Amino acid sequence: MLAGELYSGADPELQAEIAATAAWLVQYNAASVETPALRLARLRERLAEVGEGAVIRPPFHCDYGWNIHLGAGAFLNFNCVILDVVPVSIGDRTQIGPGVQILAADHPRDAATRAAGLESGRPIRIGADVWIGGGALILPGVTIGDGGIIGAGAVVTRDVPAGATAVGNPARVRG
């Protein structure tokens, strides 16, 4: 799975990890009145890397957590979803609006392979100082360069260069 190869989501070890993350998410999402320091400590219980001052406002949803890397000062607003079957990296000071979905999970294009219950993932890399507007979708394998801007509701299917603005469905770089 971590190598981006086909795997079965029904694998008992993966299902146990998903269950553990679900239990952690219940606690994290219920703790909306905790101090920032305590919430940061909770994030560090499950996520791969959490930089100083990083914030995820509940409710938050993810598959595993241990594939998520948050830079210092990164901010994810309410109701973000990260499907982290492979690494998802979010750079320092990046701001992510409410309802954004970061979807590293992918599925075979061949119907028979999908029917067999196989899936894969492609890493997502979001640079430093990026701004992603509410409701945007970031699809598998996308890289967004430092200082990029993603418009609200955009569906990002391709890489976005550093400093560029991408909007629309599918998202296109402006300018």
Q: Which single residue is written with the structure tokens 């990164």?
A: 74
Sequence-distant (≥ 6) Cβ neighbours of residue 104 within 8 angstroms: 67, 82, 83, 84, 85, 86, 87, 88, 121, 122, 123, 124, 140, 141
Per DSSP, the residues of 128-166 read TT-EE-TT-EE-TT-EE-TT-EE-TT-EE-S-B-TT-EE
Residue 119: strand, helix, or coil:
strand
Tokens encoding 16: 């146990």
C-alpha to C-alpha distance for 90 and 32, rounded to whole angstroms: 22
Q: What is the DSSP pairing of strand 165-167 with strand 7-8?
A: unpaired
- The residue annotated as part of the active site, out of 42, 57, 61, 107, is 107
Tokens encoding 105: 């999970």
Angle between helices 12-30 and 36-46 in degrees, nearest 10: 180
| Catalytic (active site) residue 61 | no
Point out the residues that are catalytic.
107
